Amino acid sequence: GAGVSQSPSNKVTEKGKDVELRCDPISGHTALYWYRQSLGQGLEFLIYFQGNSAPDKSGLPSDRFSAERTGGSVSTLTIQRTQQEDSAVYLCASSRRGGLETQYFGPGTRLLVL
């Protein structure tokens, strides 16, 4: 079937605004992951979901970041009061289950905060 999809592909926003980034995982994949790719930090893990549950939120960079997943499918990453340092590519991945199942990545959302 289709791969992981993310929307929007690009987002430009003004500092202080809120943004929502969406991820549609591969159908049937129970595990979903968010990563961030930025010039200064490289690729870093943010959060993962087992079904609709996110057991560990410690990877989120600040309390302005939140994520949810509904129906064991679509996930939304929300950044409130965006800052310029939030500019990055936000990547979503999914896998059939946890463990060492291959994580399949979406094309990412490129976020630019002016």
Q: Applying CB under 8 A, which residues contact another protein? A: 3-4, 31, 33, 35, 42-45, 48, 50, 55-56, 59, 91, 93, 98-100, 102-108
Least distance from C-beta 100 to another protein, angstroms? 5
Identify which of residues 6 and 73 has a Cβ nearer to another protein in the complex: 6
Identify which of residues 8 and 98 has a Cβ nearer to another protein in the complex: 98
| Nearest Cα to Cα of residue 111 among 3, 11, 7 | 11
Token duo for residue 45 = 């893990």
List of residues 6+ apart from 103 with CB closer than 8 A: 31, 33, 93, 94, 95
